[in-house]
Chains A and B, each alone.
Chain A
């Protein structure tokens, strides 16, 4: 099971404030489906300016990135720059 960590603000709105969850998903697309099933409405929120970090790699434009069984998946604010 992959450990999935939601941003605090998103967790407060959709997951009763609980930031850490476990999911068995092969990739980000499947994870999003499962997240939406468990927390209706969360997908639309996560598609707004949120990046995905899988272990050490940050994906700003996530889509079907693979998730390992022991991966840590973190949703975090997308990063801009100057």
Chain B
């Protein structure tokens, strides 16, 4: 076992020349994934497993008057049916009040409806049978009687006087006086700096415009899937793809009314999450069905279900007003955001208010956000939640301001860029950040200097994301032959196994290939927060570094015992123990020490349980070149460069992959993606044919530039990188299109139909 002398201490690696960090090693899970052998959520099988399907509401808003399951239960092969009545009722005020507020009431009701359905696709019942076909047939035999209510599909409709109110217990938070009637306006939030009126009073030029975006889905390729089983003595096993096995465990326990110790969650490989798998949908249903049927139950969503009923992010509107002096100094920024939360409160509008102006040093800011419930699926996190919509509006406004001032938009950004010591819109002063460096890198990029042809335009935009730390654990176990296992509790979405192994290899001084990184189940490592918030390489990486250092100390102690010298005489150099005061002892490698572990005290390991602070903020700048076909309104992305301050890139290829992926998702958000509903609130584009995400043939190579301004809060200088890349693209694309056609594009997506109407002035 390891000692505790270094756990919790920051190891100072400043100025260190890395030996393995920053190399482009092959990811440990890569071959299995590209050869189709890796086990994702839908791949798990259990003995005696049966299959379940859901019954979903065809109405966007309705009261459930009656559910009759008799016919379904009589069908041969059907083993169990559950409805909302099979789950414990949760108090409307039951909320997790930790790091973020989570309403268990809303979560439970979103998993399976009780008295009302709130969106097209809301689960009403689930049925398990010996085959998926029988389950599907049985689902069609479940009779649900609805009293159909008028839906409210947009924030505008939801806020109208006499609009149908979704939740009778929903009273607007954050307004004075407190309302005495429920409404669809869930909350108001506001952030202020300085004196906004005085700020605009100093302005020579003012631009103001309202921008809109639509509901978009994260678009992960792997649908939600799980298998659940329950033993006769009530021990629950869940195998599923998610962004956090501990998150699934906690939520399943709560919604099903089970102690946490009785729930074990084993993480599958994950085929994309982007925030959309930080919540649960199927798992409680599968557990309840398994309990009733006495058999393991498998559930896999169809694409139709994924789009109708899981995690989109909010559509919304953003009014932005910017004021600047003639020399380009931005003196005031005013923003009002209205986000559609979906069926339950909790859009990321507050985060939009906190992030929109963050790239700039603006002394006078006012940002107001409105969170509005509508009859769409409940919004879930999506990469940098809330920031892209706000950034779209602010970065478009900065572009328009540059036009009004006759300034280069990059130079305007450079003039106003936030630097170390700048006060962010949410009040905190930034530590060392690399925003200006991203702008300089953009200025020096080949794309910024490339000539443009007819009908072509170039857009530039920047973006900010906080990045977070949080609770993480890691265990480093030295095997008998000196190879090492690094166990952590975070699903590997973007190459984190490779990053964890690299960081452990750097500390231990052994080759990366001798380390096996492991994503462990909830009973094999201590608790970790989920994979999200761009936190894993930063926070779990910090835990891995500390655990590896703990293991090094254990190895030094063993070497001291083998040599019969004081611990102080043993140093760890390049993967081996060296006796510094005597040359009679030959250095001992990990393998040498591991071979004698039984004689020196048993297994060798290190561990760390931390709550990581010191997450460094991320800033990015993107350049987009487009060509617009004036006949068809089709936009071709010609060139694209994504630049970001990433702190220290542990594995540059996977950092570049994050930048490329975020850019591509943002391009889709800007050009094509949107939920299209019928007048009565049914989602019309429920497949990837009609909900069009960009594919490789739509895109040029996304070039990347990694700016490395080390984060002093991490021993290797790491900043989170996964979310910032989706913040700038919406405006980068829209600014490029605006320049190509000579008209400001303020409403996304810029689909051919919409773009033609802008070109034609309609």
Contacts and interface: CB of A to CB of B under 8 A. Distances in A.
Interface of A: 5, 8-9, 12-13, 47-49, 51, 53, 55-61, 72, 74, 76-82
Nearest to A61: B611
Contacts of A81: 275, 381, 384-385, 465-468, 532-535, 723
Contact of A9 (B189, B383, B533): B189
Given A8-B191, A72-B429, A82-B275, 15 more contacts: A9-B188, A13-B176, A49-B101, A60-B468, A61-B611, A76-B427, A79-B351, A79-B468, A80-B533, A81-B275, A82-B278, A82-B381, A82-B382, A82-B532, A82-B723
B347 to A, nearest CB: 12
Given A48-B97, A49-B99, A82-B274, A77 B381 contact: no
Contacts of B218: 82
Contacts of B95: 48
A81 to B, nearest CB: 3
A79 B428 contact: no
B615 to A, nearest CB: 8
Contacts, number: 102
A78 B96 CA distance: 13
Interface of B: 95, 97-101, 173-174, 176, 188-192, 218, 273-276, 278, 348, 350-351, 354, 381-385, 426-431, 465-471, 532-535, 611, 613-615, 713, 723
7 contacts: A8-B190, A9-B188, A9-B189, A48-B97, A49-B98, A80-B381, A82-B723
Contacts of A82: 218, 273-276, 278, 381-385, 532-533, 723
B354 A80 contact: no
B102 to A, nearest CB: 9
B429 A80 contact: no
A42 to B, nearest CB: 14
Contacts of A48: 95, 97, 101
A8 B611 CA distance: 28
A8 B354 CA distance: 13
Contacts of A13: 176
B469 A60 contact: yes
Contacts of B468: 60, 79-81
A74 B98 contact: no
Contact of A80 (B176, B428, B430, B532): B532
Contacts of A74: 426-428
A61 to B, nearest CB: 6
A63 to B, nearest CB: 9
A79 B381 contact: no
Contacts of A78: 99-100
Contacts of B190: 8-9
Given A81-B381, A81-B468, A49 B533 contact: no
Given A53-B428, A56-B430, A56-B431, A80 B535 contact: no
